């Protein structure tokens, strides 16, 4: 029988990984993700999970170990946070290029300097161009669910790509929430055993992985990876549809709307701060502000069509960025760049701007969201946005 | 339900004519004429046989073998980054352990062999190599040592000998000897701090049966093992392509390379010369040492003499002093 537990995001992730019956896990300690590995280590030690649990000698090694294990036919799991995520950078492209459906949990942490335990999405977002699937969870429940959904998508023969399954450090990874743990039979129905296909490293059918190519042979391989991302929306819809049916959930595959029916301004957001944003939207509604929320569930593949269709309905969109792209075209993060690009072909575009919020792991408070709403409301009134980026808590609310 | 993992056991080889005819590293690759690393690869693959998976960190044995979507391996082979051969091997070995245990794959545990150059072993690859050996994976890590980053144009590595002329250690007015440092000692690094390792050996392309048997002994051991294989590089060391085996033999005869096995704490030695030749006999055939002056050669001789006297490598005969007319 499915049971309800109170779990942190990390503990929920560990439960999901256990129920996915992974074969090889590779760990290295860094806060805050490491709590998930501690849970998994206990499960292996207690004999609750039959997996090889390898102590990597660093994040680079973690990704290298699961690269080898996945190539040899194992379902794999690893994870990291902050500078650990960027330390492993060399290995991300070889994994996606080899079409290995490795799964990596990221519980965000601000990059150095200076040492900062807080959550910020820049660690993961810096890796968004490496050919991995990427999306955030808002709650421990969504973290649990996303691990299963991502294995299913990544291991689909039409996809065969690795997945960054992200959750905000601390805000999700360490704040307990209610998590419905399903029956193993439900998980087994949703997630078939990993079938590595005919290209597995196996002495019975020898193949070579990753020989050198000429430059003119590179483009076609890049195109194949790109095409897998084009195919993916279909696979995601199927997977999320099956997930909702089997587990009785109501996920929207790509963008989830909250109180948007007659909304004029919306927050466009991914990850844990969406939980606060929901409260802010409710309070704003009580005050007569027609606010709503649109939550992004996958940033890779970026659901261009769905984002455009959703956001075109509103007058003002505030993209809540929790990561930086210094010197970028929007002078803030990368999400607004993506949002504006998605809206480019829409006949009547909403006003768009972005808010740098939660950087360094700072909390994004209700007050911050009210402040953002004020800027958006003023912009809608004025018919224009003053600038493309506002730093929450660090400047006055003038549009 | 847990299925026990079975491993292979290889018999030792006695004569060259008895070695397997099958090749698992076939002709058609793009290594240089006289390539020492290619020769040892062929021997290693022959000794290991068909139930083998090679991990190939970036280096000559990646670039010159696995070119343009073609590879010479008839057993599974996977490229790894130059940084992570040991870690990728760890993952592969772990995957087979768990897949066999869970009944997802039937057969004896494949030989998992990392074929790394000196850079991929004891320089940028050291961390991953050490961790694989430390963690006790049932895998063989081979350092084929051509004493430089050869594929990128002969740059110095930690095993480039003192006095080596590489493109990063060119001799000049201020630095007449070229390379100023003495080389790292890979097998001693492994022996010194990896309690899970029970078998370490050095080998040379000049002694093929010895090399192949050391591969087999390593593979017969359950757990991590390490081989350090001397593989002369005609292009990098600048000698005639037909002399690869002679150069390799001279390295052993001069004490520049020592052949030994270390089995759980005990050393045994192979092909130890009755009398060591002066190092100049080895140096004079290689243009990478052509710039060396007598004082440099004396320094190198002293290094070799000291190495031969270190605990664990006892010598029975006196080591000759450097001769004066060694470089003609």
Are residues A318 and A205 part of one domain? no
Examine the domain organization and report whether A41 and A108 are in the same domain: yes
CA distances from B225 to A387, B55, B138 (A): 62, 15, 8
Q: Do A311 and A380 lie in a common domain?
A: yes
Q: With beta carbons less than 8 A apart as the criterion, state whether A337 and A328 touch.
A: yes
Q: Is B193 an interface residue toward A (CB < 8 Å)?
A: no
Q: Do B53 and A201 touch (CB under 8 A)?
A: yes
Task: Check if B248 contacts A (Cβ < 8 Å).
Answer: no
Q: What is the DSSP letter of B73?
A: B
Interior angle at CA B38, CA B45 and CA A215, nearest 5: 105
Contact B54, B100 (CB under 8 A): no
CA distance A209 to chain B (A): 4
Q: Do B90 and A65 touch (CB under 8 A)?
A: yes
Which chain B residues contact residue A194 at CB under 8 A? none
Record: contact A203-B110, CB cut-off 8 A: yes
A203 to B75: CB separation less than 8 angstroms, yes or no: yes
Which residues in chain A are closer than 8 Å to B104, comparing Cβ atoms?
73, 193
The total number of structural domains in chain B stands at: 1
And the tokens for B158?
């930690």
Handedness of CA A245, A249, A254, A260 (dihedral sign): positive
Distance, in Å, from the CA atom of B98 to the CA atom of A23, rounded to the nearest integer, reads 6
Domain with A191 in it: 3-247
Q: Please check whether residue B207 touches A, CB under 8 A.
A: no
Q: Is A72 on the interface with B (CB under 8 A)?
A: yes
The whole-angstrom distance between A260's CA and the closest CA on chain B is 47
Strands A316-321 and B111-117: unpaired
Select the residue of A23, A61, A65 nearest B99 (Cβ to Cβ): A23
What's the pLDDT at B225?
98
Its sign, for the CA torsion B289, B294, B295, B301, is positive
Question: Chain A residues with CB inside 8 Å of B66's CB?
Answer: 208, 210-212
In this complex, do A206 and B95 lie within 8 Å of one another by their Cβ atoms? no
Residue B151 domain flag: yes
Distance (Å, whole) CA B181 – CA B156: 10
Tell if the CB–CB gap between B76 and A203 is shorter than 8 Å: yes
**Sign of the CA dihedral running A127, A132, A135, A139:** negative
Nearest-Cα distance to chain A for B80, in Å, is: 8
What are the Cα distances from residue A229, in Å, to A124, A192, A308, B185?
18, 21, 18, 47
Residue A24 predicted with pLDDT over 90: yes
Instruction: Using CB atoms, pick whichever of A51, A65, A71 lies closest to residue B87.
Output: A65
Q: Across the interface, do B127 and A58 touch by the CB < 8 Å criterion?
A: yes
- A235 & A349 share domain: no
Q: Does some domain include residue B210?
A: yes
Q: Give the minimum alpha-carbon distance from A323 to chain B in angstroms, rounded to a whole number.
A: 29
Burial B111-130 (b: 16+ CB within 10 A, else e): bbbbbbbbbbbbbbbbbbbb
Strands (E), chain B: 52-57, 77-80, 111-117, 140-145, 199-204, 225-230, 260-263, 266-269
- A399 within domain boundaries: no
Q: Which of B77, B92, B127 sits opposite A72 (nearest CB)?
A: B92
DSSP state of B18: G
Query: How far is residue B104's CA from residue B84's CA, in Å, rounded to a whole number?
Result: 26
Number of domains in chain A: 2
Q: At what angle do helices A215-247 and A140-154 cross, to 10 degrees?
A: 130
* Closest chain A CA to residue B77: A208
Residues A52, A20 share a domain: yes
- Cβ of residue A238 closer than 8 Å to a chain B Cβ: no
User: At A346, which CATH number?
Assistant: 3.40.50.920
CB contact under 8 A, B68 and A94: no
> CATH number, domain at A59?
3.40.50.970
Q: Per the CB < 8 Å rule, is A68 touching B98?
A: no
Residues of chain B with pLDDT under 50: 317, 325-328
Count of helices and strands (H, E) across chain B: 11, 8
User: Domain boundary residue among A247, A263, A297?
Assistant: A247
pTM of the model: 0.95
Q: Do A212 and B74 touch (CB under 8 A)?
A: no
In a domain, A396, yes or no: no
Contact state of A68 with B78 under an 8 Å Cβ cutoff: yes
ipTM score for this prediction: 0.94
Q: Hey, are the CB atoms on A211 and B101 less than 8 Å from each other?
A: no
Exposure letters B297-316 (e unless 16+ CB within 10 A, then b):
bbbbbebbbebbeeeeeebe
Q: Give pLDDT, residue A397.
A: 58
Residue A102's CB is within 10 A of a number of other CB atoms, namely 31
In angstroms, the Cα distances linking B170 to B164, B207, B289 are 8, 32, 11
pLDDT of residue B188: 93
**Is residue B230 classed exposed, middle or buried when 0-12, 13-18 and 19+ CB atoms within 10 A define those classes?**
buried
Interface touch B79/A210, C-beta < 8 Å: yes
- Nearest CB to A54; choose among B50, B51, B90: B90
Out of A247, A273, A293, pick the residue that ends a domain: A247
Tracing tokens 């000429």 back to the chain, one arrives at A214
Same domain, A92 and A213: yes
Chain B nearest-CA distance from A70, in A, is 8
Cβ within 8 Å of A, B 106-165: 107, 110, 127-128, 130-131, 135
Q: Stretch A56-76: mean pLDDT, rounded? A: 98
Q: Do A52 and B107 touch (CB under 8 A)?
A: no
Q: What is the pLDDT of residue B328?
A: 43
Q: Which residue of A has its CA nearest to B82?
A: A90
Query: Are A50 and B101 an interchain contact pair (Cβ–Cβ within 8 Å)?
Result: yes
B79 reaches A (C-beta below 8 A): yes
In chain B the first and final C-alpha atoms are separated, in Å, by 70
Q: Are residues A291 and A191 in the same domain?
A: no
Between residues 11 and 50 of chain B, which touch chain A (CB distance below 8 Å)? 50
CATH code (residue B260): 3.40.50.970
User: Residue A381 in 3-state DSSP?
Assistant: helix
Domain co-membership, A230 together with A263: no
Half-sphere exposure of A369 (CA within 13 A, CB side): 26
In terms of domains, do A15 and A72 share one?
Answer: yes
Identity of the residue in A24, A60, A204 whose CB atom sits nearest the CB atom of B84:
A60
Determine the distance in angstroms separating the CA of B13 from the nearest CA of chain A, rounded to an integer. 23
| CB-CB under 8 Å, B2 with A52 | no
Flag if B88 and A55 touch (Cβ within 8 Å): no
A55 CB neighbours in chain B (<8 A) are 135
Backbone φ and ψ for B151, nearest 5 degrees, come out as -65, -30
Q: What pLDDT does residue B313 have?
A: 59
Q: Which of B79, B87, B98 sits opposite A61 (nearest CB)?
A: B87
Same-domain status, A327 and A382: yes
Domain of B54, in residue numbers: 16-309
Query: Is pLDDT at A399 greater than 80 in this prediction?
Result: no
For every residue of A84-128, DSSP letters joined together read: HHHHTHHHHHHHHHTT---EEEEE--PPSSS---S--THHHHTTT
Co-location of A152 and A242 in the same domain? yes
Reported as type and span, the H/E element at residue A321 is strand A316-321
Residue B190 lies in a domain: yes
Give the chain A residue whose CA is nearest to the CA of B136: A54
B45: in domain: yes
State the Cα–Cα distance between residues B147 and B150, nearest whole angstrom.
Answer: 8
B92 inside domain:
yes
A239 with A271, same domain: the answer is no
Interface touch B98/A23, C-beta < 8 Å: yes
Give the bridge partners for A163, in sequence order: A103, A133
């Amino acid at each position: 029988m499915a049971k309800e537990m109170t779990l942190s995001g990390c503990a929920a992730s560990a439960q999901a990984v256990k129920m996915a019956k992974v074969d090889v896990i590779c760990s290295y300690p860094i806060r805050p993700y490491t709590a998930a590995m501690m849970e998994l280590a206990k499960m292996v030690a207690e004999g609750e999970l039959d997996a090889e649990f390898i102590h990597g000698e660093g994040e680079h090694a973690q990704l290298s170990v699961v690269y080898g294990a996945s190539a040899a036919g194992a379902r794999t799991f690893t994870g990291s946070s902050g500078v650990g995520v960027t330390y492993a950078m060399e290995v991300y492209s070889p994994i996606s290029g080899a079409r290995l459906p490795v799964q990596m949990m990221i519980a965000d942490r601000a990059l150095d300097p200076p040492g900062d335990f807080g959550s910020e999405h820049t660690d993961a977002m810096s890796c968004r161009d490496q050919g991995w699937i990427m999306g955030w969870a808002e709650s421990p429940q969504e973290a649990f669910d996303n691990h299963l959904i991502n294995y299913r998508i990544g291991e689909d023969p039409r996809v065969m790509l690795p997945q960054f399954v992200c959750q905000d450090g601390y805000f999700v990874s360490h704040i307990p929430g209610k998590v419905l743990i399903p029956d193993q039979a439900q998980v087994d129905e949703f997630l078939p055993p990993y079938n590595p296909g005919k290209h597995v490293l196996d002495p019975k059918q020898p193949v070579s992985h990753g020989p050198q190519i000429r430059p003119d042979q590179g483009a076609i391989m890049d195109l194949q990876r790109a095409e897998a991302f084009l195919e993916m929306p279909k696979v995601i819809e199927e997977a999320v549809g099956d997930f909702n049916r089997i587990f009785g959930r109501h996920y929207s595959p790509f963008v989830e709307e909250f109180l948007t029916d007659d909304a004029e301004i919306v927050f466009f957001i991914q990850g844990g701060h969406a939980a606060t944003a929901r409260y802010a939207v409710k309070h704003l509604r009580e005050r007569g502000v027609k606010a709503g929320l649109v939550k992004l569930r996958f940033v890779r593949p970026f659901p261009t069509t769905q984002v455009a269709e959703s956001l075109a309905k509103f007058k003002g969109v505030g993209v809540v960025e929790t990561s930086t792209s210094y010197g970028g075209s929007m002078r803030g993060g990368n999400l607004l760049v993506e949002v504006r690009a998605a809206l480019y072909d829409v006949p009547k575009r909403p006003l768009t701007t972005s808010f740098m919020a939660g950087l360094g792991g700072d909390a994004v408070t209700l007050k911050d969201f009210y402040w953002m709403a004020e800027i958006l409301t003023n912009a809608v009134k004025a018919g224009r946005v003053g600038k493309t980026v506002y730093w929450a808590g660090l400047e006055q609310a003038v549009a | 339900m847990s299925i026990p993992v079975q491993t292979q056991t290889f018999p030792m080889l006695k004569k060259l004519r008895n070695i397997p005819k099958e090749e698992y590293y076939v002709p058609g690759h793009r290594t240089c004429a006289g390539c020492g690393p290619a020769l040892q690869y062929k021997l290693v693959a022959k000794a290991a046989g068909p139930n083998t998976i090679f991990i190939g960190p970036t280096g000559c044995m990646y670039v010159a073998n696995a070119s343009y979507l073609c590879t010479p391996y008839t057993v599974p082979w996977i490229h790894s980054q130059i940084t992570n051969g040991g870690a990728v091997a760890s993952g592969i070995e772990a995957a087979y352990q768990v897949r066999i245990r869970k009944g997802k794959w039937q057969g004896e545990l494949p030989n998992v062999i990392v074929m790394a150059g000196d850079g991929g072993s004891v320089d940028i690859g050291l961390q991953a190599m050490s961790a694989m050996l430390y963690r006790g994976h049932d895998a063989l890590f081979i350092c084929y040592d051509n004493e430089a980053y050869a594929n990128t144009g002969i740059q110095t590595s930690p095993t480039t000998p003192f006095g080596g002329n590489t493109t990063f250690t060119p001799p000049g007015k201020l630095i007449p000897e070229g390379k100023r440092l003495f080389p790292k000692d890979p097998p001693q690094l492994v022996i010194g701090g990896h309690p899970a390792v029970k078998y370490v050996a050095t080998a040379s392309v000049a002694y093929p049966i010895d090399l192949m048997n050391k591969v087999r002994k390593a593979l017969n051991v359950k757990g991590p093992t390490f081989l350090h294989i001397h593989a002369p590089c005609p292009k990098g060391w600048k000698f005639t392509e037909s002399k690869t085996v002679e150069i390799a033999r001279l390295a052993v005869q001069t004490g520049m390379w020592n052949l030994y096995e270390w089995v759980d704490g005990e050393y045994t030695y192979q092909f130890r010369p009755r009398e060591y030749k002066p190092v100049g006999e080895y140096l004079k055939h290689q243009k990478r040492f052509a710039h060396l002056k007598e004082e440099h050669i004396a320094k190198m001789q002293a290094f070799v003499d000291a190495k031969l006297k270190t605990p664990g490598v006892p010598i029975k005969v006196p080591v000759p002093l450097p001769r004066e007319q060694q470089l003609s």
